[in-house]
Chains A and B, each alone.
Chain A
Amino acid sequence: MKRKIKEIAAQVFETQVNDDTNQDNCENWDSLRHLNFIIELETEFDVSFEPEEIAAMTSLSIVESMIQQKRQ
């Protein structure tokens, strides 16, 4: 799953990403791409995030744990 998340992130943010990538250290992670990222994640993992969750998903590690929670 981690690999898939990074794959999507790299595609949406049009840059290389790693496990520590977050909104602050990734220049291309702007608000517009953030939503595109969320939409792609929702589609890929067949989950739906609440607006509060979307706002909190500010790093790839948070994203991963959030998806894991949803799928349990």
Chain B
Amino acid sequence: MEFFIFRNMTIERFFSKYKASFSGYEDISFIDPDAERYIWFYLSPIKTNNKVIAAEIRNYIDLLKLTISRIPSGKTLIIFTINDIYSINTITGDNDIKEAVKYYNSTLYELALEHNNIKVLDFENFLSRYSSTELIDWKYYFISQMALNPRLSSPFQDWFKEQINSIELKRKKCLILDLDSTLWGGILGEDGIEGIQIGGDYPGNAFLMFQQQIEELGKQGVILAVCSKNNIEDVRQAWSLNDSIVLKENHFAALKINWGNKSDNIKSLAQELNIGLDSMVFLDDNPSERELIKTVIPEVEVPDFPTQPYMLPVFFKSIAEKYFSIYNLTSEDLSKTKQYKENALRNSLKSTFTDMNDYIRSLEIELTIEEVNNITIVRAAQMTQKTNQFNLTTQRYTDTDLSEMLSEGAKIYTLSVKDKFGDSGITGLCICKLKGETVDIDSFLLSCRILGKGIEDAFMNWILKELKQLNFKTIHSKFISSAKNIQVKEFYERFGFEIISESESVKLYNLDLENKIINLSDNYNYK
């Protein structure tokens, strides 16, 4: 069950693309404990007395608070804002409903601040596309209590999917900005400090608003940085002399203002700021610079920049929503909670078995080991970037790096793990570089989510067996210590690798594969 939905109207049709179950109308007595996520979707009640409507809306908050205290902790609750969309009794001039709606919605945001598993969806964002006559089809309201026009279900589902994506999307951390024709109109080096277009008439006013919007992003915690081809003295002079410029040196956490290659500059920004390239967004009006970054550093998000300054507000809104929306719950987090649940199930099994092997066999673990392909290469590269603990060498690669290795004849294996409780997907990687009859294991890593079941040994044995079958005679491997990988310090020793040199941080190994006997454990199914 993906969703359990608390509701007060007939809304099933609006979630037909999801596996969802529903509460009774205004019924909070039952909470499905096994739902992955919960939704609170209450619509404004359809009544004719404004005071009654207002009181009901306020009462919904009490129902909601009680529900929050009862849903399983750590699970996400997505709450829709409420809106007065029907306005049946418009004769009176009172503000009761407006006040109640305001109270309801502001309480939602307060709750979201208190509980980080609560996400608020601004339903107005969807409703505002329609006129009030489009929002309800009274025929369907009267025959089935559908308070939203059933014909809106298809656009609703599209909208809802976007919202879910933005909730799950990891927020980017840093916005990297070009200067000329991006933050102001014109070219500083040619037009001079007063010649650039910022503030005043169009297009300067459009750039001014853009800078102000970016300043607001900065206030919300987005790191701002500059990567621009200018003379830094010119820029500093512009910052100190042109008062129309909003974004000045103190707004930026780091500056790369030089005539060097922008991809190198962005890489060094990432190092300087100590954040991943995949948490950066780069804005530049110049398509060839954008292309360069897209090609050389595909982890960096590079949105197309508008060709006309009057398009900047729409552009800003789209990047703000796409990359910097306040939710930082990642899809990984969501699947983690699922996996935690699965781990809990596994633990509950633990006591009923006589020994560890017995327990592992009962999990019906399926290991799929295959050579990397066009599709899995991205995940493979991502694993080298993200895996810290069970990682023998902690070499970080991009998918371009991996493609290059493949073209040089390397063998790259991915491991996918499944058991009777769920599919963990690709969670292991081994990179083998080949030189004649010798294999150099460049990287060997597993996600810590799958550890504790002997899978790491099975994976390594499978690799050794495969390499032996391919008639390789010797294996070279190494352990490079990092701050986090101490647990794998003795890993190769377990397989009979001999240490050929050892320093404080690096151990080099050798294995005579020709005379090695390898047995695959029958605790697992190999595919």
Q: Is the CB of B144 within 8 A of A35?
A: yes
| Residues from chain A with Cβ under 8 Å of B12 in the complex | 32
Q: How far is the CA of A38 from the CA of B527 in the complex (A)?
A: 48
Partner of A51, one of B16, B142, B146, B150: B142
Q: Is the CB of A35 within 8 A of B151?
A: no
| Residues from chain B with Cβ under 8 Å of A51 in the complex | 139, 142-143
A43 at the interface (CB under 8 A from B): yes
Q: How far is the CA of A31 from the CA of B151 in the complex (A)?
A: 17
Q: How many residue pairs at the A-B interface have CB separations less than 8 Å?
A: 22
Q: How far is the CA of A32 from the CA of B140 in the complex (A)?
A: 12
Q: State the majority secondary structure of interface residues on A.
A: helix
Q: Is the CB of A35 within 8 A of B150?
A: yes
Q: Is the CB of A54 within 8 A of B143?
A: yes
- Cβ proximity bits B131-142 to A, threshold 8 Å, 1 near / 0 not: 000000001101
| Residues from chain B with Cβ under 8 Å of A59 in the complex | none
**Interface size (A, Cβ < 8 Å)?**
8
A14 to chain B, nearest CB (A): 11
| Residues from chain B with Cβ under 8 Å of A28 in the complex | none
Interface residues of B in 70-114 (CB under 8 A from A): none
Q: State the majority secondary structure of interface residues on B.
A: helix
Partner of B151, one of A32, A39, A54: A39
B341 at the interface (CB under 8 A from A): no
Q: How far is the CA of A39 from the CA of B12 in the complex (A)?
A: 14
B249 to chain A, nearest CB (A): 58
Q: How far is the CA of A51 from the CA of B138 in the complex (A)?
A: 11
| Residues from chain A with Cβ under 8 Å of B10 in the complex | 32
A22 at the interface (CB under 8 A from B): no
B47 at the interface (CB under 8 A from A): no
Q: Is the CB of A39 within 8 A of B150?
A: yes
Q: How far is the CA of A43 from the CA of B13 in the complex (A)?
A: 15
A36 at the interface (CB under 8 A from B): yes
Partner of B140, one of A31, A35, A43: A35
Q: How far is the CA of A43 from the CA of B154 in the complex (A)?
A: 12
| Residues from chain B with Cβ under 8 Å of A35 in the complex | 13, 140, 143-144, 146, 150
Residue of B nearest to A39 (CB): B150
Q: How far is the CA of A54 from the CA of B143 in the complex (A)?
A: 9
| Residues from chain A with Cβ under 8 Å of B144 in the complex | 31, 35
| Residues from chain A with Cβ under 8 Å of B150 in the complex | 35-36, 39
- Cβ proximity bits A7-30 to B, threshold 8 Å, 1 near / 0 not: 000000000000000000000000
Q: How far is the CA of A39 from the CA of B139 in the complex (A)?
A: 11
Q: How far is the CA of A54 from the CA of B10 in the complex (A)?
A: 17
B47 to chain A, nearest CB (A): 21
Q: Give 7 CB contacts A-B under 8 Å.
A: A32-B12, A35-B13, A35-B146, A36-B13, A36-B150, A39-B151, A51-B143
16 further A-B contacts with Cβ under 8 Å, apart from A32-B13, A36-B16, are A31-B144, A32-B10, A35-B13, A35-B140, A35-B143, A35-B144, A36-B13, A36-B150, A39-B13, A39-B140, A39-B150, A39-B151, A43-B151, A51-B139, A51-B142, A54-B143
Among all A-B residue pairs, the 3 with the closest Cβ atoms: A39-B150, A51-B143, A35-B144
